[in-house]
Amino acid sequence: MTLSLPFLAIVLVVGAGAGWIADRLATGKGFGMAGDAVVGVIGAFAGVWAARHFGVAVMPGNAGLVIHAAAGAIVLLALVRVSQGGLSLGSKAAAPAKKAAVPVAEGPRPVRPVPRSGRTV
C-alpha cells in the first residue's frame, strides 16, 4: 500500500464522511461527530488494507479505493456501535422530542365570589 497524496485524501474524505453519516443516522451511544469521523478514517484504512491483503478488487483505480474505504469505515463503525450497547438506526431529528416541563399548580385556585350589585342593567 503506497501512501500517496491522492490515496490519503480519498481515504480521509471517505472515512470522515462515513463517520459523519453514521453520526447523523445512528441514534444512541457514539463518540460524537469528530469521534465517529476518526473511527471512520481508521475503518477506511483497515478496509483498504484488508482488500489489498486478501486480494479483493471490486474495481480498479480510485473507484475501487473509495468502495474499499467506505466498506471498511462502515464495518468498523457498526462494530463499534454494537460493542457500545446496540446499533439503533433512525434519524436523530425523527426521535420524539422531550416534553417541556409544565409548571405544576400549587393546588386548586380559590373561587372568588362575584360581587353583586343591586342594580340591574
63 vs 95 pLDDT, higher one: 63
pTM over 0.85: no
Q: How far apart are alpha carbons 2 and 42 in whole angstroms?
A: 16
27 phi and psi angles, rounded to 5 deg: -95, 170
User: What does the domain layout of the chain look like in residue ranges?
Assistant: 5-86
Query: How much is the pLDDT for 1?
Result: 58
Cβ distance 99 to 82 under 8 Å? no
pLDDT of 8 over the 70 cut:
yes
Which residue in the block uniquely carries the three cell numbers 480498479?
A: 60
pLDDT tens profile 9-41: 888 998 888 888 877 776 666 678 888 888 889
- CA torsion sign for 75, 48, 10, 59 is negative
Q: Is the pLDDT score of 109 beyond 80?
A: no
At 120, is the pLDDT very low, low, confident or very high (cuts 50, 70, 90)? low
**Residue pLDDT, tens place only, 44-71:** 899 889 988 888 887 888 888 888 888 8
Angle between helices 5-25 and 32-53 (to 10 degrees): 130
Q: For residues 23 and 42, give the distance between their C-alpha atoms in angstroms, rounded to a whole number.
A: 15
